[in-house]
Amino acid sequence: MKLVTVLMLAALPLCCYAGSGCDTLEHAIDITYDTNVSVSEYIEALKDFIAGEESENAMKDLKECFLDQSEETLEQANVLQHAIYDSFWCARY
């Protein structure tokens, strides 16, 4: 499960600009990390961005993966996200 988390976070540099002002993406990431948000609440919050049933199932699997992680792992993933946004490579955005 940690591999899925790492792979998802590895894709974040492609969206570096989000750390400098894309509130929608930042909100989506925040609720992904939040263990107080259930899978159904997560899907409801992101329903405008889910194209179909396959995408919805993938989003459910993603949220369940994060719900299975320890608080320490989630905190470290959040630290990684901010390190990416504050990196030299994202500075130009």
Query: Which tens digit of pLDDT belongs to each residue from 12-23?
Result: 555 544 454 677
User: Domain limits at 33?
Assistant: 2-90
**What residues of the chain score a pLDDT lower than 70?**
1-21, 91-93
pLDDT in tens, 64-77: 999 999 999 988 98
How many CA atoms does the CB half-sphere of 27 hold within 13 Å?
7
Q: 45 CB contacts (<8 Å, ≥6 apart)? A: 27, 28, 31, 37
Q: Is 8 left (phi over 0), alpha (psi -120 to 50) or beta?
A: alpha
Spatial contact of 80 and 5, defined as CB atoms under 8 Å apart? no
Number of domains the chain is built from: 1
Copy the structure tokens of residue 15: 């969206």
